[in-house]
Amino acid sequence: MDPNTLNIIKGAAGAAAGGDPVYVEDVFSTDVYSNAAGAPAPRTVTNGVNFLEEGGLLWVKNRSYQSGGNGRRHVLYSTANSATSSTSTHALSSNTSDDLEDYSSNATLTWKTDGWSVPAGDGDVNGSYFGDYVASSFRKAPGFFDVVTWNGNNGSSKTISHNLGCIPGLIIAKNTSATGYSWAVYAKHGQSGTYNARLLFNSTDARDNSTTTDWSTNSAHFTKDSFTVGSGDLTNMDGESHVAYLFADGADADAQIFGDDGDESIIKCGSYTGDGGNDKVIDLGWEPQYVLLKNTSAGSTNWRVFNNMTGWIAGVSNGADSTSLRPNTNNIESASHKCYITPTGFKFDATEAAVEVNAQASDNDTYIYVAIRRGPMKTPEDATKVFDDVVYNGTGGAHDVPISLSYADFVFYKRRNATDNWGWTSRLQGNLAHLASNGNGAAPGSNAEANRNSADALEYDRQSAFGLVGNSSGEVNYSGESYISYSFKRTPGFFDVVPYNSTNGSTQTVTHNLGVPPELMIFKSRGVTNNWWAYHKDLGASKAIQFDSINMADTSATWLNNTAPTSSVFTLGSGGYANWNTTTYIAYLFASCPGVCSIGSYSGNTGTTIPIDCGFSSPARFVMIKRTNSQAGGNSLTAGQWFVFDSARGINTNANDPLLATNENWVETNNTDYVDQTSNGFSVKAGSVYTNETGGEFIYLAIA
């Protein structure tokens, strides 16, 4: 494509000079919500997707409710089938061959410039007592997605214009005015040269390789501006209305128009051949948040949708299953297949040989997929959108803890008035997995990551909250007790979580998605007993510091192979700190981000309060400080605790600060005054050997 035409397409997407960059979070969102017993309430989802002005598709499914073995149907609203520009009263169901369903009585959808809303009452989309829902928003945008409609003229082929700006990777079409007609699917990949081969979206059938009339037989009829349907009833029935959802393929340069520089993809369509019994890795070049896939070779195989909001965990060997939905059935969520997220795609491990996702290699089964990139892509500017410190009270029963983030990817917490352990857990580890930063076991009293029972889980499938089910041990939700929690969202330039497998001392590089070199990395083995360790940019790659002790920094050229991390990988050497044995590990990565996060160091001066200018426009809400060298006249191995201060519990000026340390299971104390807030960060008070002693060297992490 010539440069002028490419700039026109980028301008339509908002990514060219003169237009704002477009990110995946602008055009796609998966949102979850729940309706328990009680009076129905309207539902408004604010996710930043501009449906009202740009148009698109909203796909809603009840995840958990079923009666008599049957769940609720998939509901697909689109602006192309709207009653007005602002509302939709009719929708389709991907698991039926019905025409448009009338939802005008109790589920009229209202399109908004930043999301959508729907009244309460209908069990398919927002019914009381109907449990958990998931809704995926697809906004029309060149290089990503489009919705088009046409009237059929059976008897001859018809060319349909679209605004995708690139050749479609997948097209899903439906007759909307006549019932009894299936959904027809065209896939650019996995066609084996048969361009009019057909799949049915509401069926478990394999690809129909016989001559069909639903799609053009000529691949040249699928272009960046149009596609051609044949004379078949499913796509071109005489006098009937049809709709198609078009998905771009980011492998096409014409679709690489997103991100800061307008040169990145956010969606990919592709295919792979099953290899059950061996690891099967699909490399996308980025981490996905959503994958739709189908075995096109074998019949009686469901379509599958995986997404990271409802239970899709990291691609390391930890035995957990990933949840998925089946667009061709009304069944509830299933945890029957091990599909894992990786930093650069998705994979099936060697234990997964199910025909629906990864048949044995000898079967030579072909699979097609649509994958959407994880967001956000944009570097944060507002710390309240990516970090929150919240004090909450336990109830001993199920409840949600509200946070300022749209969702949490990582939470660590502590009961304040008891010698309980800290709990560290993340979306990629799963709801039940918890680590304790105040001990060297994978969990206290255990040689493996603590898998709490289902009554003690911290749940990530919440909007603007994390969920607590219940707790008998008191560490996370004991009735009447007070807790402090810190919630983080994975974003470029600020924070990332990276699960990985160790290689028993063999040097390896591990991919991350921070987008900048990490300045603080915290490591913990998940499967075996070993200490927590940390890297800090001001200590350098030749030093490691224990995160679960008061010890000073150790010199070791082997644990990071004496190699500083880069914007895309960190290196692990033969040392035993972060690459020991053959087991699973987790790494938490932080970086300084203007106005959001500051990572640095300072030298102590006993008699002087030291201001730390973090470059913030407001006081620091969270501060972690650790002394890295020995105390004057003290034990040569003793440096100091990893102290944490936060605004939720109070960082008081000239008063006692509530004090905790992540390497200790202390009861919170209020008899110290180590830190004050300032207008651009924080200051460390004079006189403490732990945070400000002459000769002392200190590292810190501060968040606005």
Residues 6+ apart with CB under 8 A from 276: 348, 352, 353, 354, 358, 359, 360, 361, 363
If one compares 241 and 434, the residue with the highest pLDDT of the two is 241
pLDDT for residue 655: 76
List pLDDT tens digits, range 432-484. 788 889 876 544 434 446 655 566 788 899 999 999 987 766 789 999 999 99
Task: Decide if pLDDT at 16 tops 50.
Answer: no
Can you tell me which residue has the tokens 């209202």? 110
**What is d(CA 559, CA 573) in angstroms, rounded to the nearest whole number?**
5
List pLDDT tens digits, range 325-380. 999 999 999 888 888 999 999 999 888 888 999 999 989 999 999 999 999 999 99
Assigned token pair, 253: 């340069």
Residue 273 near residue 364, CB atoms below 8 Å: yes
Identity of the amino acid at 284: L
Mean pLDDT of 566-592: 92
pLDDT band at 390 (very low <50, low <70, confident <90, very high): very high
pLDDT for residue 13: 53
pLDDT for residue 469: 84
Residues 6+ apart with CB under 8 A from 86: 52, 110, 111
Question: Considering the chain, what is the average pLDDT of its residues?
Answer: 90
Model's pTM, two decimal places?
0.94
Short-list 659, 634, 629, CA closest to 646 = 659
Assigned token pair, 243: 């709709």
Mean pLDDT of 218-236: 93
pLDDT > 70 fraction of the chain, expressed in percent and rounded: 91
pLDDT for residue 144: 98
Short-list 236, 233, 266, CA closest to 251 = 266
Residue 416 near residue 409, CB atoms below 8 Å: no
pLDDT band at 227 (very low <50, low <70, confident <90, very high): very high
List pLDDT tens digits, range 106-115. 999 999 999 9
pLDDT for residue 318: 46
Residues 6+ apart with CB under 8 A from 532: 437, 440, 522, 523, 524, 546, 547, 548, 663
Residue 165 near residue 255, CB atoms below 8 Å: yes
pLDDT for residue 443: 43
Assigned token pair, 519: 């300045």
DSSP 400-421: EEE-SSSS-SEEEEEETTS-PP
Residues 6+ apart with CB under 8 A from 117: 42, 43, 44, 45, 109, 110
Residue 68 near residue 146, CB atoms below 8 Å: no
SS3 234: helix
Task: Decide if pLDDT at 1 tops 80.
Answer: no
pLDDT for residue 317: 47
Task: Decide if pLDDT at 94 tops 70.
Answer: yes
pLDDT for residue 634: 54
Task: Decide if pLDDT at 263 tops 90.
Answer: yes
List pLDDT tens digits, range 619-650. 999 999 999 998 755 554 467 899 999 999 99
Assigned token pair, 355: 């025909």
DSSP 260-322: TTT-B-SEEEEEEE--BTS-EEEE-SS-EEEEEEEESSSSS---EEEETTSS--BSSSS---E
List pLDDT tens digits, range 114-135. 999 999 989 999 998 888 999 9
b (16+ CB within 10 A) / e for 585-597: bbbbbbbbbeebb
pLDDT band at 4 (very low <50, low <70, confident <90, very high): very low
pLDDT for residue 40: 74
DSSP H helical segments within 14-154, as ranges? Answer: 24-27, 51-54
pLDDT for residue 357: 94
Partners of residue 64 on adjacent β-strands: none
pLDDT for residue 637: 44
pLDDT for residue 316: 60
Task: Decide if pLDDT at 194 tops 80.
Answer: no
pLDDT > 90 fraction of the chain, expressed in percent and rounded: 72
pLDDT for residue 487: 98
pLDDT for residue 6: 44
SS3 content of the chain, % helix, strand, coil (to 5): 5, 40, 55
**What is d(CA 77, CA 495) in angstroms, rounded to the nearest whole number?**
35
Report residue 348 CA to chain centroid gap. Answer: 18
pLDDT for residue 196: 66
